[in-house]
A and B are shown apart, each in its own frame.
Chain A
Amino acid sequence: GDSVTQMEGPVTLSEEAFLTINCTYTATGYPSLFWYVQYPGEGLQLLLKATKADDKGSNKGFEATYRKETTSFHLEKGSVQVSDSAVYFCALSEGPSYDKVIFGPGTSLSVIP
């Protein structure tokens, strides 16, 4: 079945460091891919998405490119801030109905001043 694998955390970075969170997926077709972010005490919210191969999703300085050849969707940011401290979830949904979303286990990020 479909699955999403993320790098294990927690990840601790200094402010202004470069961030990469790896995500790979297994799917039978052509899924849509998402990154969600969860701040402490809150629900998940969409960070960015990509719906076909080579699409790049971007938002708030974060980017991820849909790589079908490597089945990956790695999240990157050039310069993290303390306010980026959160848990990041990679996710996919697949047809025909796309009703179900498969989430990865999440990667906790702490950014220290």
Chain B
Amino acid sequence: NAGVTQTPKFQVLKTGQSMTLQCAQDMNHNSMYWYRQDPGMGLRLIYYSASEGTTDKGEVPNGYNVSRLNKREFSLRLESAAPSQTSVYFCASSERRDRGNQPQHFGDGTRLSIL
């Protein structure tokens, strides 16, 4: 019953360092998403992947890259971390939305601080 698993749960980086946030889902979902959550701003979509092998930019993609490694895994990479990227990052997955009534399933988040 794992659902969506994110690693790590917490991370502190120095400005300029790089790191990759990992996400895996075991529900055989086609679509996967990366969001960031900042106080007073709700969730903002960074990148999403509608199916294995495809990725698309969301609302705030600058400074990030993604890889849809296979159907299960969708990683988010910060090449050169900046303090503005301090946030809580959520990965989510969903069934293919042909009818639009399939909810997103979220991981517990990665709390990232950039010093």
Contacts and interface: CB of A to CB of B under 8 A. Distances in A.
Contacts of B92: 43-44
Contacts of B105: 45-46
Contacts of B109: 42-43
Interface stretch (B14-22, B43-51, B61-69, B79-87): B43-51
B50 A99 contact: yes
A77 interface: no
A98 B100 contact: yes
B103 interface: yes
A45 B50 CA distance: 20
A100 B58 contact: yes
A94 B90 CA distance: 21
Interface residues of A, number: 25
Nearest to B40: A105
9 contacts: A32-B99, A32-B101, A51-B101, A93-B97, A95-B100, A98-B102, A99-B97, A100-B48, A105-B41
Contacts, number: 62
Given A34-B103, A100-B58, A106-B42, A41 B97 contact: no
Q: Report the 8 A-B pairs with minimum CB-CB distance, sorted nearest first.
A: A98-B97, A43-B106, A98-B100, A46-B103, A105-B42, A32-B100, A51-B101, A103-B43
User: Which among B4, B50, B101, B108 has the greatest number of chain A C-beta atoms within 10 A?
Assistant: B101
A49 B4 CA distance: 20
Contact of A99 (B4, B48, B90, B101): B48
A51 B98 CA distance: 12
B101 A45 contact: no
Contact of B45 (A36, A44, A100, A104): A100
B104 interface: yes
Contacts of A42: 108-109
Interface in A62-113: 89, 93-95, 97-101, 103-106
Nearest to B95: A98
B101 to A, nearest CB: 4
